[in-house]
């Protein structure tokens, strides 16, 4: 007797879940009622586990993660069936929302698989190391962000389709609650106590230090020793030093290969998309970065760098010289997620000396220039130009250094753990009925390790806003989601920033649960005397501010050095 492959897979997963449930049925002292008190939704948490179950927090955590993984795979199949069954019947925007969900579900399954495998082999009596705990907490935070992104898109599409609401949105809500349980139990069971006790993010065992050195030289493991002048120019453009200055391997950026994009046909490729397609798949970084040098020009193409294109470095000829541009927008039927001119999901991506632009204009509302869902991604000396929703720091861990960001409404938004350092933020002239909100951070769960840290940046008006005599008001941010978290520290705030600093999203939504903070800012707009008096707003000291530095918020010392990009690990002295 034979069984369909899908049936066998489903049966196998069900048996695994039952087996894990049987491991919870032990004479331990904790019931699901006591364990679930530590989660955001104790009532839902109790419904996840067998009523008579007993075990410690790690037993429950493993069970919840296994169930989350099963549900993620099930949801992927649901989307596939729904798209196939309703082909030709759905609107362009509905199809786009469902395809976003399909792509996000694939990423979520990867994150949950890694998370479950990690906790499943960890001894019951041990927590994880600081860095490993951060890795898994980051993945589980991103899984929850993916669910919320999908739900936001589906809810918009569901306004014109009750079948989407019942068939997709309702199951997704329960999955989101389940993922929240998994994140809460992981945080309680596996994250070291010292990391949890800071209240805002975590403490790092290392002392913070400056790593503000010049960019490192390249060492190439694939090309001949005698490089072409063009290759040498690319290397030296990044390093800002002569390649021959130092042959010390400790002062190098390892590169596996380099290709050139030039629109005149003299390079290896004429489009960025073709160059990305040629990059190797699933590399582990031991051979170095695959470098794509994009010569000066305006590249009118929407670029997507998929999750398998790891350790890719893209170098342009400079801001406003190498320009990638597009004009997708929500008004024209795209989802916010897929309106991006440039979207990257691959881990360890680095971009240098480039401009990312969306020219849809303010009247087209949400129109993203760049979306990053790439863990351990770095953008150095880049410019991001659009109006509403310019820079979508969607998820995972990201770093931006010496970048220019232009926009109007919520122009830096998303739910990554992200630090913007030594950047210039330029609010622009918005539509007459709009206001500028520099940030709209999207943290939905108190256990997510996400937030936006703006460190040693400069906030000034763009030329069009300055020439308008500031007819549009500008705020530091507003709470897009319930646990929105944003910190401005040691930055220069020009006088056009509204004295209250921050703006409500809708009534008193999130004013008690958000975490907004300012530390030691300067400039005429930095006074906190007339700032909002919300329960979630704080003027913090150096101890609290240190939680949001590169070393402590991103664990940047663990992964940023290999890129050669300069960064400041701690606070300004």
- Cβ burial 309-337 (10 Å sphere, 16+ → b, else e): bbbbbbbbbbbeebbbbbbbbbeeebbbb
**What one-character DSSP code corresponds to residue 165?**
I
Contacts 24+ apart (CB under 8 A), 294-299: 294/261, 294/322, 294/354, 295/260, 295/261, 295/262, 295/263, 295/267, 295/322, 296/321, 296/322, 297/262, 297/263, 297/322, 297/323, 298/323, 298/325, 299/261, 299/263, 299/271, 299/272, 299/323, 299/324, 299/325
- Which residue intervals of 191-216 are DSSP H helices? 193-196
CA–CA separation, 454 and 111 (whole Å):
27
CA–CA separation, 169 and 174 (whole Å):
9
Q: Which residue among 410, 445, 544, 557 is the active-site one?
A: 410
Give the residue among 419, 342, 347, 422 at the shortest CA–CA distance from 385.
342
Rounded alpha-carbon distances, angstroms, from residue 567 to 30, 131, 357, 378, 550: 46, 19, 25, 11, 8
Give the Cα-Cα-Cα angle 421, 424, 429 (nearest 5 degrees). Answer: 145
Is the Cβ–Cβ distance between 157 and 165 less than 8 Å?
Answer: no
**Residue 59 designated active-site:** no
Is the Cβ–Cβ distance between 545 and 551 less than 8 Å?
Answer: no
Residues assigned a catalytic role: 410
């Amino acid at each position: 007797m034979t069984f369909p492959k899908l049936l066998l897979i489903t049966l196998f997963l069900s048996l695994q879940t039952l087996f894990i449930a049987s491991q919870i049925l032990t004479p331990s002292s904790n019931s699901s009622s006591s364990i679930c008190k530590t989660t955001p939704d104790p009532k839902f948490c109790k419904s996840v586990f067998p009523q008579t179950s007993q075990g410690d927090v790690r037993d429950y955590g493993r069970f919840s993660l296994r169930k989350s993984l099963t549900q993620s795979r099930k949801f992927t199949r649901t989307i596939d069936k729904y798209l196939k069954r309703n082909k030709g019947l759905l609107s362009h925007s509905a199809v786009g929302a469902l395809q976003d969900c399909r792509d996000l579900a694939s990423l979520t399954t990867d994150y949950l698989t890694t998370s479950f495998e990690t906790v499943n082999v960890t001894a019951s009596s041990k927590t994880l190391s600081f860095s490993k705990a951060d890795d898994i907490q980051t993945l589980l935070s991103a899984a929850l962000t993916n669910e919320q992104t999908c739900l936001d898109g589906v809810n918009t599409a569901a306004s014109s389709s009750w079948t989407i609401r019942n068939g997709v949105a309702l199951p997704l809500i329960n999955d989101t609650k389940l993922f929240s349980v998994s994140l809460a139990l992981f945080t309680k069971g596996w994250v070291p106590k010292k990391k949890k006790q800071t209240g805002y993010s975590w403490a790092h065992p290392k002392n913070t230090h400056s790593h503000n050195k010049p960019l490192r030289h390249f060492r190439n493991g694939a090309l001949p020793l005698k490089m072409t002048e063009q290759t040498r120019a690319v290397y030296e453009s990044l390093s800002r030093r002569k390649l021959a200055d130092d042959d010390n391997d400790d002062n190098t950026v390892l590169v596996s290969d380099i290709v050139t994009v030039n629109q005149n046909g003299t390079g290896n490729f004429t489009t960025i998309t073709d160059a990305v397609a040629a990059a190797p798949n699933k590399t582990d970084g031991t051979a170095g970065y695959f470098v794509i040098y994009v010569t000066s020009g305006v590249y009118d193409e929407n670029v997507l760098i998929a999750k398998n294109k790891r350790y890719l470095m893209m170098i342009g000829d400079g801001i406003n010289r190498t320009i990638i541009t597009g004009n997708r927008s929500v008004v024209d039927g795209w989802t916010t997620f897929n309106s991006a001119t440039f979207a990257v999901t691959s881990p360890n991506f680095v971009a240098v000396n480039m401009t990312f632009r969306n020219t849809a204009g303010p009247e087209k509302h949400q129109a993203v220039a760049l979306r990053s869902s790439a863990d351990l991604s770095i953008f150095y000396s880049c410019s991001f130009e659009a109006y509403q929703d310019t820079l979508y720091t969607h998820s995972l861990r990201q770093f931006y250094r010496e970048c220019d960001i232009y926009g109007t409404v919520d122009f830096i938004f998303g739910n990554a753990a992200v630090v913007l350092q030594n950047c210039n933020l330029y609010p622009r002239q918005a539509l007459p009925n709009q206001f500028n909100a520099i940030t709209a951070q999207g943290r939905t769960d108190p256990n997510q390790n996400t937030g936006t840290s703006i460190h040693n940046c400069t906030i000034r008006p763009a030329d069009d806003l300055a020439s308008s005599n500031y007819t549009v008001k500008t705020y530091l941010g507003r709470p897009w989601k319930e646990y929105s978290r944003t910190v401005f520290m040691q930055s220069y705030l020009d006088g056009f920033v509204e004295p209250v600093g921050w703006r409500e999203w809708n009534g008193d939504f999130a004013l008690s649960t958000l975490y907004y903070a300012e530390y030691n800012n300067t400039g005429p707009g930095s006074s906190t005397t007339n700032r909002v008096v919300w329960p979630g707003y704080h003027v913090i000291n150096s101890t609290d501010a240190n939680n949001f530095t590169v070393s402590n918020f991103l664990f940047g010392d663990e992964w940023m050095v290999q890129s050669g990009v300069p960064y400041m690990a701690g606070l300004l002295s």
